[in-house]
Amino acid sequence: MGLGSRRLSAGLVTCALAFVLPLLASCHPARTSEQQRVVFVERLTRPEVRLNWRNISCPLCKAAFAILDVALLSDANEERVAHALGEACVRLHLAEEQVCREIIELFRDDVIRALQESVLWPTEACALLVGPSCGKFDLYAPWNITLPKIPKPPVIPPSPPKHGSPQSRVLFLTDIHWDQDYEPGSAVDCKDPLCCRKNSGSPSWRQRKAGYWGTYGKCDLPIQTVENLLENVARAGPWDWVYWTGDIPAHNVWSQTRNQQLSELTEISRLIQKHLGPNVTVYPAIGNHESTPVNSFPPPFVRGNRSSSWLYDTMAEEWAKWLPEQALKTLRYGGFYTVEVQPGLRVVSLNMNFCARENFWLMVNSTDPANQLQWLIHTLQASENKGEKVHIIGHIPPGLCLGSWNWNYYQIVNRYESTIAGQFFGHTHRDEFQMFYDEATMTRPLGVAFIAPSITTFINLNPGYRVYYVDGNYQGSSRLVLDHETYILNLTEANHTPEPNPKWTLLYRATEAYGLSSMFPSDYDRLIRTFISDDRVFQKFWYFRYKGHVSEPCKEACKTEVLCFLRSGRYDELEQCDHLNGFGGNLVKAVRKTLC
């Protein structure tokens, strides 16, 4: 290969690595500041690796990207890029060789196609890869949705319902991550990004073995735990309805196929219906792991075999038992929908993959993909006109989204604060929340994004699920969350002497644990202030955040980091918190590592 080809390959490899290889990083809980580092960058810049993207000169980088489009017209160059990516992954020890080869093969076609159609300019790509001295990275440039000119109604602060008023009991399920290859007795501490599997090997006498019901470690769930959970929640009913916010498959993202994804989607959907029965309606949302390659959600203008129709059509078929035809229509179009839950209450299910940086298809165009936010505004305005309350559900919390998407979403929540009665998300696998404040002063709390804990154990967690108590079905109901409970399966006890029906226990009830009279945004704002002034209450939250399995307390810089996250429903607030507290950008990088 000549010098020109080597330079070209270096540029292409650099770009593709930036979007593909971080997928090999595990979704560990956010590190404390003493531990914080960006693993991907650290590995690239170690002296023994002898490869540092910062050593690529700015002119060379721009020259490589200037001929990117031409180069990728050749199938031969595509092969060179794929081969070079695989070699880089192996030599940088980002994963075992087989994992490197498989994930590059899985991602190469879609990533290259997205790069071919991208509006990425050389200066933008090189600013991302070489540094700000080489240009300005504004691939996801600011854009604005259009709000109606109808004035915002006067805000009436919520008040607790009268004693004895009806309440709705809502089951919330998220992040199942069922691993078909989970193997009790297999190695917990393997070299792959996901362990406790048939190919993880047998542990030595000093190593841990995968438990029957699940394992603390980088392991997902066996089917028996998923079924046992559903059996238990069925007995714990009745439920008024269910919210289910996605992530069905395991974290073996390097070896998944469309058939496997669809098979798991179908099986879990049918298991939920089987155990909860035909009289309980489930409102699902799409996770980032439903697709393969993971995080790959092309907007609707991408058609043919590369579109998401293979996934959305099957979802529509499986969820037709819960959703009306109009909802299925927008589900097939873009993976989102709205439906009336009860008279006076509407649910909106968003496809949060259209806000995720890891969705490499947004390189092509990140401006309100699928016009989803404009559709949300139309839906909320119609509900405001009718006096309806709205619950928004989705997988990725909005505070972890791309800056422009999140900025517009924050505006929408501000404008429709009297209509949006609840926001419910998952994805982080932890028990937490993010706050929304009025944009004028950023001091008056007006919304809470509840982030529920995962069903999966990944990583080092007990399995868990959430129950919300919502102001019920009566005239004038606020439809706000009044309380919530978290239930867990204690794996230490369950695996000690495995029984056919292990006990799922109440970890905590929020109002009792924190001494709150209600769960309104003002209560959560006061709770954050209590975390600051009373460390005992914060450490209790820290324990609950990890579903009762945490090895050490969170002090000083760690606590500051967590408080930044809780206050930051708007991404730029997180950046400001990062800057003011001297994290040097590591806080933002840590919370943006959203590959769960």
Binding residues for Zn(2+): 175, 177, 247, 288, 395, 427, 429
In sequence order, the 6+-apart residues with CB closer than 8 A to the CB of 1 are 9, 80
**Are 567 and 576 within 8 A, CB to CB?**
no
Which helix H or strand E contains 449, and what residues bound it? strand 445-451
C-alpha to C-alpha distance for 247 and 596, rounded to whole angstroms: 8
C-alpha to C-alpha distance for 447 and 414, rounded to whole angstroms: 8
C-alpha to C-alpha distance for 93 and 150, rounded to whole angstroms: 56
Neighbours of 367 (CB within 10 A): 17
**DSSP of 237-303, one letter per residue?**
---SEEEE----B-S-TTS--HHHHHHHHHHHHHHHHHHH-TTS-EEE---TTSSSSTT----TTS-
**Are 422 and 201 within 8 A, CB to CB?**
no
Neighbours of 593 (CB within 10 A): 20
C-alpha to C-alpha distance for 125 and 139, rounded to whole angstroms: 8
**Are 434 and 566 within 8 A, CB to CB?**
yes
Exposed e or buried b for every residue in 177-193, given b needs 16+ CB within 10 A? bbbbbbbbebbbebebb
The residues pairing with 283 across neighbouring beta strands, listed in sequence order, are 243
Determine if residue 93 is left, alpha or beta; phi over 0 gives left, psi from -120 to 50 gives alpha, anything else beta.
Answer: left
Look at residues 310, 516, 527, 353 and name the one whose alpha carbon lies nearest to residue 432: 527
**Are 348 and 355 within 8 A, CB to CB?**
no
C-alpha to C-alpha distance for 99 and 87, rounded to whole angstroms: 12
**Are 249 and 388 within 8 A, CB to CB?**
no
**DSSP of 27-85, one letter per residue?**
-PPPPPTTT---HHHHHHH-GGGT--GGGS-HHHHHHHHHTHHHHTTSHHHHHHHHHHH
Residues tagged in the binding site annotation: 175, 177, 247, 288, 395, 427, 429
Token match 């939250």: residue? 541
